[in-house]
């Protein structure tokens, strides 16, 4: 591996209008403003990521952050933040 010359390990579909990604451990969390959802991917094998779950969010999620056992999703049009237990 050479940080000055990264190579692509894998590609996986993330849905319509993806806005943000957060990584915690073996999981990546992606919010999509088109279908108003958060997709959770198992990335324990970076060469073969897989979809673990799709979770409804508020309207027009714009950002996701993960801290400890919780994922925080900011929804623009719903004007709220949702907190998900991911433990």
Range of the domain at 26: 18-79
10 pLDDT band, cuts 50/70/90, is very high
Q: Is residue 10 part of a domain?
A: no
Mean pLDDT, the chain, integer: 96
> Residue range 25-32: average pLDDT?
98
Instruction: Inform me whether the pLDDT recorded for 1 exceeds 80.
Output: no
Handedness of CA 45, 49, 50, 52 (dihedral sign): positive
**Domain assignment of residue 3, yes or no:** no
Q: What pLDDT is stored for residue 2 in this prediction?
A: 85
Q: Cβ-count burial of 6 within 10 angstroms (0-12 exposed, 13-18 middle, 19+ buried)? A: exposed
Is residue 29 included in any domain, yes or no? yes
Domain membership flag for residue 13: no
9 pLDDT above the threshold of 80: yes
In this structure, is residue 2 part of a structural domain?
A: no
Cα separations in angstroms, 12 against 4, 22, 23, 72: 23, 15, 15, 23
Number of domains in the chain: 1
**pLDDT band at residue 15 under the 50/70/90 scheme:** confident
Q: What is the pTM of this model?
A: 0.93
Domain membership of residue 25 (yes or no) is yes
């Amino acid at each position: 591996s050479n940080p000055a010359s990264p190579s692509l390990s894998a590609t996986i579909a993330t849905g319509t209008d993806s806005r943000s990604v957060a990584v915690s451990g073996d999981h990546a969390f992606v919010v999509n403003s088109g279908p108003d959802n958060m997709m959770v991917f198992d990335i324990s094998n970076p060469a073969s990521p897989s979809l673990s779950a799709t979770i409804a969010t508020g309207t027009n999620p714009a950002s996701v952050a993960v801290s400890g056992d919780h994922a925080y999703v900011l929804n623009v049009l719903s004007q709220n933040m949702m907190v998900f237990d991911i433990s």
